[in-house]
Amino acid sequence: MKRGERYRLTIERPAAGGRMIARHEGAIVFVSGAIPGEVIEAEVEKVQRATVWAATKQIVERSADRVDAPEGACGGSVFAHIAYDRQRQIKSAIIEDAFRRIGRITLESPVEVVASGVDGYRMRARLHVRNGRIGFFREGTHSICDAASTRQLRDDTIAVIRRLEASLAKTARPVVGDIEIAENVDASERAIHFELLPDADPSGLAALAYVDGVGGASCAHAENPRTMELFGSTIVSDTIRGVTLSRHVRSFFQGNRYLLAPFVDHVLSHVSTGPLVDLYAGVGIFSLTAATAGAGPIAAVEGDRFAARDLKRNAAGRITVLQIPVEEFSTGSAQPIATVIVDPPRTGMSKDALERAIAVEAPRFVYVSCDVATLARDARVLLDAGYRLSSMRAFDLFPHTAHVETVIAFSR
Protein backbone atom coordinates (compact mmCIF):
# COMPACT_ATOMS: atom_id res chain seq x y z
CA MET A 1 0.00 0.00 0.00
CA LYS A 2 1.34 3.38 -1.03
CA ARG A 3 0.33 6.96 -0.49
CA GLY A 4 -2.35 8.04 -2.97
CA GLU A 5 -3.62 4.53 -3.68
CA ARG A 6 -7.31 3.75 -3.11
CA TYR A 7 -8.82 0.63 -1.56
CA ARG A 8 -12.27 -0.66 -0.71
CA LEU A 9 -12.43 -1.30 3.04
CA THR A 10 -14.96 -2.56 5.58
CA ILE A 11 -14.86 -0.51 8.78
CA GLU A 12 -14.67 -2.73 11.87
CA ARG A 13 -14.53 -0.64 15.03
CA PRO A 14 -13.50 2.76 16.45
CA ALA A 15 -10.01 3.71 17.58
CA ALA A 16 -9.00 6.33 20.13
CA GLY A 17 -8.41 9.67 18.46
CA GLY A 18 -11.36 9.67 16.08
CA ARG A 19 -10.34 7.30 13.29
CA MET A 20 -11.90 3.91 12.61
CA ILE A 21 -10.12 0.60 12.14
CA ALA A 22 -10.20 -1.50 8.96
CA ARG A 23 -7.86 -4.19 7.65
CA HIS A 24 -6.32 -4.85 4.26
CA GLU A 25 -4.09 -7.85 3.54
CA GLY A 26 -2.97 -8.04 7.17
CA ALA A 27 -2.32 -4.31 7.57
CA ILE A 28 -4.28 -2.24 10.08
CA VAL A 29 -5.77 0.86 8.44
CA PHE A 30 -6.85 3.89 10.49
CA VAL A 31 -9.57 5.59 8.46
CA SER A 32 -10.94 9.10 8.97
CA GLY A 33 -14.49 10.08 8.09
CA ALA A 34 -15.99 6.60 8.44
CA ILE A 35 -18.44 4.75 10.72
CA PRO A 36 -18.18 1.13 11.95
CA GLY A 37 -20.06 -1.20 9.61
CA GLU A 38 -19.64 0.94 6.51
CA VAL A 39 -17.94 -0.16 3.31
CA ILE A 40 -15.95 2.74 1.93
CA GLU A 41 -13.32 3.64 -0.62
CA ALA A 42 -10.34 5.17 1.14
CA GLU A 43 -7.22 6.94 -0.09
CA VAL A 44 -3.93 6.16 1.63
CA GLU A 45 -2.38 9.19 3.37
CA LYS A 46 0.60 7.61 5.12
CA VAL A 47 2.20 4.19 5.58
CA GLN A 48 4.42 3.33 8.53
CA ARG A 49 5.56 -0.26 8.97
CA ALA A 50 2.41 -2.40 8.99
CA THR A 51 0.10 0.51 9.82
CA VAL A 52 -1.72 2.67 7.30
CA TRP A 53 -3.58 5.97 7.63
CA ALA A 54 -6.29 6.71 5.08
CA ALA A 55 -9.19 9.08 4.41
CA THR A 56 -12.69 8.17 3.28
CA LYS A 57 -13.31 9.29 -0.30
CA GLN A 58 -16.49 7.46 -1.24
CA ILE A 59 -19.23 5.66 0.69
CA VAL A 60 -20.03 2.29 -0.89
CA GLU A 61 -22.38 0.99 1.82
CA ARG A 62 -23.68 3.84 3.96
CA SER A 63 -24.42 3.58 7.69
CA ALA A 64 -27.90 4.59 8.80
CA ASP A 65 -26.10 6.78 11.35
CA ARG A 66 -24.35 8.95 8.76
CA VAL A 67 -25.53 12.58 8.69
CA ASP A 68 -24.60 15.59 6.59
CA ALA A 69 -21.57 17.48 7.86
CA PRO A 70 -19.21 20.18 6.55
CA GLU A 71 -16.33 18.76 4.55
CA GLY A 72 -12.73 19.18 5.64
CA ALA A 73 -12.73 17.90 9.23
CA CYS A 74 -12.42 21.27 10.95
CA GLY A 75 -10.91 20.93 14.42
CA GLY A 76 -13.37 19.59 16.96
CA SER A 77 -15.69 17.98 14.42
CA VAL A 78 -14.17 14.60 13.51
CA PHE A 79 -17.44 12.87 14.51
CA ALA A 80 -19.76 15.47 12.99
CA HIS A 81 -20.71 13.03 10.21
CA ILE A 82 -22.10 10.58 12.80
CA ALA A 83 -25.57 10.81 14.39
CA TYR A 84 -25.17 12.03 17.95
CA ASP A 85 -26.52 8.94 19.76
CA ARG A 86 -24.12 6.78 17.75
CA GLN A 87 -21.25 9.10 18.69
CA ARG A 88 -21.93 8.34 22.34
CA GLN A 89 -22.02 4.59 21.67
CA ILE A 90 -18.69 4.85 19.86
CA LYS A 91 -17.14 6.75 22.78
CA SER A 92 -18.38 4.06 25.17
CA ALA A 93 -16.72 1.45 22.94
CA ILE A 94 -13.46 3.44 22.90
CA ILE A 95 -13.44 3.47 26.71
CA GLU A 96 -14.10 -0.29 26.88
CA ASP A 97 -11.34 -0.99 24.35
CA ALA A 98 -8.75 1.14 26.18
CA PHE A 99 -9.48 -0.53 29.50
CA ARG A 100 -9.21 -3.98 27.95
CA ARG A 101 -6.01 -3.35 25.95
CA ILE A 102 -4.11 -0.89 28.16
CA GLY A 103 -5.45 -1.53 31.65
CA ARG A 104 -6.11 -5.27 31.23
CA ILE A 105 -9.53 -4.54 32.79
CA THR A 106 -12.74 -6.10 31.53
CA LEU A 107 -15.71 -3.82 32.17
CA GLU A 108 -18.87 -5.63 33.22
CA SER A 109 -21.23 -3.40 31.20
CA PRO A 110 -21.07 -0.57 28.66
CA VAL A 111 -20.14 2.80 30.12
CA GLU A 112 -22.94 5.36 30.06
CA VAL A 113 -21.94 8.53 28.20
CA VAL A 114 -24.11 11.42 29.38
CA ALA A 115 -25.38 13.52 26.46
CA SER A 116 -24.75 17.22 25.94
CA GLY A 117 -26.31 19.92 23.85
CA VAL A 118 -24.21 20.17 20.71
CA ASP A 119 -24.70 23.78 19.57
CA GLY A 120 -22.67 26.45 21.35
CA TYR A 121 -21.49 24.14 24.11
CA ARG A 122 -17.97 25.56 24.50
CA MET A 123 -17.11 28.16 27.12
CA ARG A 124 -13.38 28.01 26.35
CA ALA A 125 -11.67 27.87 22.99
CA ARG A 126 -8.22 28.35 21.50
CA LEU A 127 -8.24 29.82 18.01
CA HIS A 128 -5.44 30.48 15.55
CA VAL A 129 -4.67 33.58 13.50
CA ARG A 130 -3.23 33.00 10.03
CA ASN A 131 -3.18 35.38 7.04
CA GLY A 132 -5.80 37.63 8.57
CA ARG A 133 -8.24 34.82 9.39
CA ILE A 134 -9.23 33.56 12.86
CA GLY A 135 -10.41 29.98 13.22
CA PHE A 136 -9.61 26.41 14.16
CA PHE A 137 -7.08 24.24 12.34
CA ARG A 138 -8.32 21.52 10.05
CA GLU A 139 -7.52 18.13 11.59
CA GLY A 140 -3.85 17.23 11.10
CA THR A 141 -2.98 20.51 9.35
CA HIS A 142 -2.18 24.17 9.99
CA SER A 143 -4.86 25.26 7.55
CA ILE A 144 -7.47 27.61 9.01
CA CYS A 145 -11.17 26.73 8.85
CA ASP A 146 -14.20 28.72 9.93
CA ALA A 147 -15.05 28.08 13.60
CA ALA A 148 -18.74 28.72 12.88
CA SER A 149 -18.97 25.55 10.80
CA THR A 150 -18.26 23.39 13.86
CA ARG A 151 -21.24 24.76 15.87
CA GLN A 152 -19.11 24.55 19.04
CA LEU A 153 -19.34 28.28 19.78
CA ARG A 154 -22.37 30.49 20.36
CA ASP A 155 -23.51 32.79 17.56
CA ASP A 156 -22.60 35.86 19.60
CA THR A 157 -19.12 34.43 20.19
CA ILE A 158 -18.67 33.91 16.45
CA ALA A 159 -19.75 37.54 15.96
CA VAL A 160 -17.00 38.63 18.38
CA ILE A 161 -14.46 36.60 16.40
CA ARG A 162 -15.56 38.33 13.19
CA ARG A 163 -15.12 41.75 14.82
CA LEU A 164 -11.68 40.80 16.12
CA GLU A 165 -10.72 39.55 12.67
CA ALA A 166 -11.66 42.90 11.13
CA SER A 167 -9.91 44.85 13.87
CA LEU A 168 -6.63 42.90 13.75
CA ALA A 169 -6.55 43.36 9.97
CA LYS A 170 -5.79 47.05 10.57
CA THR A 171 -2.22 46.30 11.73
CA ALA A 172 0.63 46.84 9.29
CA ARG A 173 2.16 43.51 10.30
CA PRO A 174 0.71 40.53 12.20
CA VAL A 175 1.14 40.62 15.99
CA VAL A 176 -1.08 37.75 17.21
CA GLY A 177 -0.58 34.02 16.61
CA ASP A 178 -3.34 32.53 18.77
CA ILE A 179 -6.36 33.70 20.75
CA GLU A 180 -7.91 32.16 23.86
CA ILE A 181 -11.54 32.93 24.61
CA ALA A 182 -13.20 32.30 27.99
CA GLU A 183 -16.88 32.81 28.79
CA ASN A 184 -19.17 32.07 31.69
CA VAL A 185 -22.19 29.77 31.32
CA ASP A 186 -24.66 32.39 30.06
CA ALA A 187 -21.95 34.28 28.10
CA SER A 188 -22.70 37.48 30.00
CA GLU A 189 -18.94 37.71 30.65
CA ARG A 190 -16.27 37.12 28.02
CA ALA A 191 -12.50 37.66 28.12
CA ILE A 192 -9.78 37.08 25.56
CA HIS A 193 -6.04 36.47 25.69
CA PHE A 194 -3.71 37.10 22.76
CA GLU A 195 -0.64 34.94 22.31
CA LEU A 196 1.85 37.22 20.59
CA LEU A 197 4.10 36.33 17.71
CA PRO A 198 7.81 36.18 18.70
CA ASP A 199 8.76 39.64 17.42
CA ALA A 200 5.41 41.34 17.98
CA ASP A 201 5.04 44.81 19.46
CA PRO A 202 1.84 44.82 21.57
CA SER A 203 1.77 48.59 22.13
CA GLY A 204 -1.30 49.17 19.93
CA LEU A 205 -3.10 45.92 20.70
CA ALA A 206 -5.44 47.25 23.39
CA ALA A 207 -7.25 49.51 20.92
CA LEU A 208 -7.60 46.65 18.43
CA ALA A 209 -8.92 44.24 21.08
CA TYR A 210 -11.57 46.65 22.29
CA VAL A 211 -14.54 45.31 20.35
CA ASP A 212 -18.18 44.85 21.30
CA GLY A 213 -18.75 41.63 23.27
CA VAL A 214 -15.33 41.50 24.96
CA GLY A 215 -15.16 42.51 28.61
CA GLY A 216 -11.39 42.38 28.98
CA ALA A 217 -8.20 41.34 27.22
CA SER A 218 -4.63 40.36 28.03
CA CYS A 219 -1.58 39.34 26.02
CA ALA A 220 1.77 37.59 26.40
CA HIS A 221 4.37 35.88 24.31
CA ALA A 222 4.11 32.10 24.12
CA GLU A 223 5.33 30.25 27.22
CA ASN A 224 5.72 33.57 29.05
CA PRO A 225 4.06 33.41 32.49
CA ARG A 226 3.97 37.21 32.68
CA THR A 227 0.72 38.57 31.30
CA MET A 228 0.04 42.13 30.18
CA GLU A 229 -3.51 43.22 30.97
CA LEU A 230 -4.75 45.33 28.05
CA PHE A 231 -8.13 46.56 29.27
CA GLY A 232 -11.17 45.63 31.35
CA SER A 233 -11.49 42.46 33.39
CA THR A 234 -9.91 39.21 32.22
CA ILE A 235 -11.88 37.33 34.89
CA VAL A 236 -15.16 35.49 34.23
CA SER A 237 -17.34 33.95 36.95
CA ASP A 238 -20.07 31.38 37.51
CA THR A 239 -21.91 30.29 40.63
CA ILE A 240 -22.12 26.51 40.89
CA ARG A 241 -23.83 24.81 43.82
CA GLY A 242 -23.64 28.01 45.82
CA VAL A 243 -19.96 28.66 45.11
CA THR A 244 -18.71 31.53 42.96
CA LEU A 245 -15.87 30.30 40.78
CA SER A 246 -13.93 33.12 39.16
CA ARG A 247 -11.11 32.37 36.76
CA HIS A 248 -8.63 34.21 34.57
CA VAL A 249 -8.89 33.71 30.84
CA ARG A 250 -5.62 31.71 30.95
CA SER A 251 -6.78 29.36 33.73
CA PHE A 252 -8.05 25.89 32.90
CA PHE A 253 -11.76 25.33 33.48
CA GLN A 254 -14.18 22.69 32.25
CA GLY A 255 -15.46 23.94 28.92
CA ASN A 256 -18.99 22.52 28.46
CA ARG A 257 -21.71 24.93 29.62
CA TYR A 258 -24.51 22.35 29.41
CA LEU A 259 -22.97 19.56 31.50
CA LEU A 260 -21.04 21.62 34.03
CA ALA A 261 -23.56 21.33 36.89
CA PRO A 262 -24.48 17.62 36.46
CA PHE A 263 -20.80 16.78 36.00
CA VAL A 264 -19.91 18.44 39.33
CA ASP A 265 -22.91 16.81 41.03
CA HIS A 266 -21.76 13.37 39.90
CA VAL A 267 -18.24 13.86 41.25
CA LEU A 268 -19.63 15.14 44.56
CA SER A 269 -21.91 12.09 44.86
CA HIS A 270 -18.77 10.00 45.40
CA VAL A 271 -17.25 12.25 48.08
CA SER A 272 -17.52 11.01 51.66
CA THR A 273 -17.98 13.31 54.62
CA GLY A 274 -14.68 13.98 56.32
CA PRO A 275 -11.23 15.18 55.22
CA LEU A 276 -10.74 15.59 51.46
CA VAL A 277 -7.68 16.04 49.27
CA ASP A 278 -8.21 17.58 45.81
CA LEU A 279 -5.21 17.14 43.51
CA TYR A 280 -4.93 19.18 40.30
CA ALA A 281 -7.61 21.33 41.91
CA GLY A 282 -7.76 24.02 39.23
CA VAL A 283 -9.80 27.01 40.38
CA GLY A 284 -11.64 24.90 42.97
CA ILE A 285 -14.56 23.42 41.06
CA PHE A 286 -14.60 20.21 43.14
CA SER A 287 -12.93 21.23 46.41
CA LEU A 288 -15.07 24.31 47.01
CA THR A 289 -18.38 22.72 46.00
CA ALA A 290 -17.47 19.73 48.21
CA ALA A 291 -16.92 22.14 51.10
CA THR A 292 -20.44 23.52 50.72
CA ALA A 293 -21.75 19.94 50.59
CA GLY A 294 -20.26 19.22 54.02
CA ALA A 295 -16.86 17.64 53.29
CA GLY A 296 -13.80 18.86 55.14
CA PRO A 297 -11.32 19.85 56.19
CA ILE A 298 -10.09 20.16 52.59
CA ALA A 299 -6.63 20.54 51.07
CA ALA A 300 -6.55 21.66 47.42
CA VAL A 301 -3.30 21.27 45.47
CA GLU A 302 -2.62 23.18 42.23
CA GLY A 303 0.72 23.93 40.56
CA ASP A 304 -0.33 26.24 37.74
CA ARG A 305 0.20 29.87 38.72
CA PHE A 306 -2.94 31.23 37.06
CA ALA A 307 -5.27 28.55 38.39
CA ALA A 308 -3.66 28.64 41.86
CA ARG A 309 -4.16 32.39 42.08
CA ASP A 310 -7.83 31.95 41.15
CA LEU A 311 -8.16 29.07 43.61
CA LYS A 312 -6.84 31.16 46.49
CA ARG A 313 -9.22 34.00 45.67
CA ASN A 314 -12.21 31.67 45.33
CA ALA A 315 -11.33 29.78 48.52
CA ALA A 316 -11.29 32.94 50.66
CA GLY A 317 -9.73 30.96 53.52
CA ARG A 318 -12.42 28.26 53.60
CA ILE A 319 -10.02 25.50 52.55
CA THR A 320 -6.25 24.98 52.60
CA VAL A 321 -4.66 25.85 49.25
CA LEU A 322 -1.23 24.48 48.36
CA GLN A 323 0.45 25.99 45.30
CA ILE A 324 2.85 23.13 44.63
CA PRO A 325 3.22 20.36 42.04
CA VAL A 326 1.18 17.29 42.97
CA GLU A 327 4.45 15.34 43.03
CA GLU A 328 5.47 17.35 46.13
CA PHE A 329 2.28 16.77 48.09
CA SER A 330 2.15 14.88 51.38
CA THR A 331 -0.80 15.06 53.75
CA GLY A 332 0.98 15.83 56.99
CA SER A 333 -2.43 15.30 58.59
CA ALA A 334 -3.16 13.35 61.75
CA GLN A 335 -6.73 12.77 60.54
CA PRO A 336 -7.32 9.96 58.05
CA ILE A 337 -8.30 11.30 54.63
CA ALA A 338 -11.78 10.15 53.58
CA THR A 339 -11.63 11.00 49.85
CA VAL A 340 -9.03 11.85 47.23
CA ILE A 341 -10.10 13.56 43.99
CA VAL A 342 -7.68 13.77 41.06
CA ASP A 343 -8.29 15.61 37.78
CA PRO A 344 -4.95 15.45 35.95
CA PRO A 345 -4.10 16.81 32.49
CA ARG A 346 -4.36 14.66 29.36
CA THR A 347 -1.01 13.02 30.14
CA GLY A 348 -2.47 11.46 33.29
CA MET A 349 -0.67 11.26 36.61
CA SER A 350 3.09 10.90 36.79
CA LYS A 351 4.36 7.79 38.56
CA ASP A 352 5.43 9.86 41.57
CA ALA A 353 2.12 11.74 41.77
CA LEU A 354 0.09 8.52 41.62
CA GLU A 355 2.25 6.89 44.28
CA ARG A 356 1.75 9.87 46.60
CA ALA A 357 -2.01 9.85 46.01
CA ILE A 358 -2.21 6.12 46.76
CA ALA A 359 -0.07 6.59 49.89
CA VAL A 360 -2.85 8.75 51.37
CA GLU A 361 -4.81 5.46 51.73
CA ALA A 362 -8.17 7.17 51.38
CA PRO A 363 -11.16 4.79 51.33
CA ARG A 364 -12.58 6.72 48.34
CA PHE A 365 -10.56 7.70 45.28
CA VAL A 366 -12.30 9.68 42.52
CA TYR A 367 -10.41 9.93 39.21
CA VAL A 368 -11.60 12.48 36.62
CA SER A 369 -9.96 12.09 33.22
CA CYS A 370 -10.13 13.56 29.71
CA ASP A 371 -7.94 10.82 28.19
CA VAL A 372 -9.07 7.19 28.21
CA ALA A 373 -5.60 5.77 27.52
CA THR A 374 -3.89 7.36 30.53
CA LEU A 375 -6.97 6.67 32.65
CA ALA A 376 -6.86 2.96 31.81
CA ARG A 377 -3.13 2.88 32.60
CA ASP A 378 -3.57 4.57 35.99
CA ALA A 379 -6.67 2.51 36.82
CA ARG A 380 -4.55 -0.63 36.52
CA VAL A 381 -2.10 0.80 39.08
CA LEU A 382 -4.93 1.66 41.48
CA LEU A 383 -6.43 -1.83 41.21
CA ASP A 384 -3.03 -3.39 41.84
CA ALA A 385 -2.69 -1.15 44.92
CA GLY A 386 -5.82 -2.60 46.51
CA TYR A 387 -8.62 -0.41 45.17
CA ARG A 388 -11.68 -1.74 43.35
CA LEU A 389 -13.71 0.01 40.69
CA SER A 390 -17.08 0.91 42.20
CA SER A 391 -18.57 3.36 39.70
CA MET A 392 -17.84 4.57 36.17
CA ARG A 393 -19.64 7.15 34.08
CA ALA A 394 -18.60 9.32 31.14
CA PHE A 395 -19.73 12.81 30.17
CA ASP A 396 -19.74 14.00 26.58
CA LEU A 397 -18.13 17.35 27.30
CA PHE A 398 -16.83 17.49 23.72
CA PRO A 399 -19.61 16.60 21.22
CA HIS A 400 -18.52 15.86 17.63
CA THR A 401 -14.97 15.11 18.83
CA ALA A 402 -13.36 11.81 19.84
CA HIS A 403 -12.73 13.11 23.37
CA VAL A 404 -14.78 12.11 26.40
CA GLU A 405 -14.56 12.95 30.10
CA THR A 406 -14.69 9.89 32.34
CA VAL A 407 -15.24 9.75 36.11
CA ILE A 408 -14.29 6.62 38.04
CA ALA A 409 -14.91 6.11 41.75
CA PHE A 410 -12.64 3.58 43.43
CA SER A 411 -13.16 2.07 46.87
CA ARG A 412 -10.37 0.68 49.00
Distance of CA 404 to the CA centre of its chain: 8
Which of 236, 263, 284 is at the close of a domain? 236
Q: CB-side exposure of 57: number of CA atoms within 13 Å?
A: 13
Q: How many whole angstroms separate alpha carbon 250 and alpha carbon 281?
A: 15
Q: Following DSSP, what letter does each residue of 134-169 receive, concatenated?
A: EEEEBTTS--EE-GGGGT-S-HHHHHHHHHHHHHHT
Structural domain range at position 8: 1-66
180 phi and psi angles, rounded to 5 deg: -105, 135
CATH of the domain at 31: 2.40.50.140
Which of 210, 236, 262 is at the close of a domain? 236
Do 29 and 135 lie in a common domain? Answer: no
pLDDT at 223: 77
User: Is 78 domain-assigned?
Assistant: no
Burial label, 338 (beta-carbon count in 10 A; 0-12, 13-18, 19+): middle
Do 137 and 228 lie in a common domain? Answer: yes
User: Is 33 domain-assigned?
Assistant: yes
Reported as type and span, the H/E element at residue 406 is strand 405-411
Neighbouring CB atoms inside 10 A of 390's CB total 13
User: Is 318 domain-assigned?
Assistant: yes
User: Is 101 domain-assigned?
Assistant: no
**Considering its fold, how many domains does the chain have in total?**
3
Q: Is the pTM of this model over 0.85?
A: yes
Do 155 and 202 lie in a common domain? Answer: yes
Do 196 and 146 lie in a common domain? Answer: yes
CATH of the domain at 221: 2.40.50.1070
User: Is 96 domain-assigned?
Assistant: no
Do 146 and 277 lie in a common domain? Answer: no
Instruction: Indicate if the alpha-carbon torsion angle 194, 197, 202, 206 is positive or negative.
Output: negative
> Which is nearest to 244 in space by CA: 203, 289, 207, 177?
289
User: Is 335 domain-assigned?
Assistant: yes
Cis peptide leading into residue 297 (ω within 30°): yes
N-to-C CA span, the chain: 50
pLDDT at 333: 67
Q: Give me the tens of pLDDT residue by residue for the chain, a chain 412 residues long.
A: 888 889 999 999 999 888 999 999 888 999 999 999 999 999 999 998 878 999 999 999 999 999 988 776 787 889 999 999 999 999 999 999 999 999 999 999 999 999 999 999 999 999 999 988 999 998 878 889 999 989 999 999 999 999 999 999 988 889 999 999 999 999 999 999 999 999 888 888 999 999 999 999 999 998 777 899 999 999 999 999 999 999 999 999 999 999 999 999 999 999 989 999 999 999 999 999 999 998 889 999 999 999 999 999 999 999 999 999 999 988 766 689 999 999 999 999 999 999 999 999 999 999 999 999 999 999 999 999 999 999 999 999 999 999 999 999 999 9
pLDDT at 72: 63
Q: Which amino acid, residue 46?
A: K
Do 265 and 385 lie in a common domain? Answer: yes
Do 263 and 348 lie in a common domain? Answer: yes
pLDDT at 335: 84
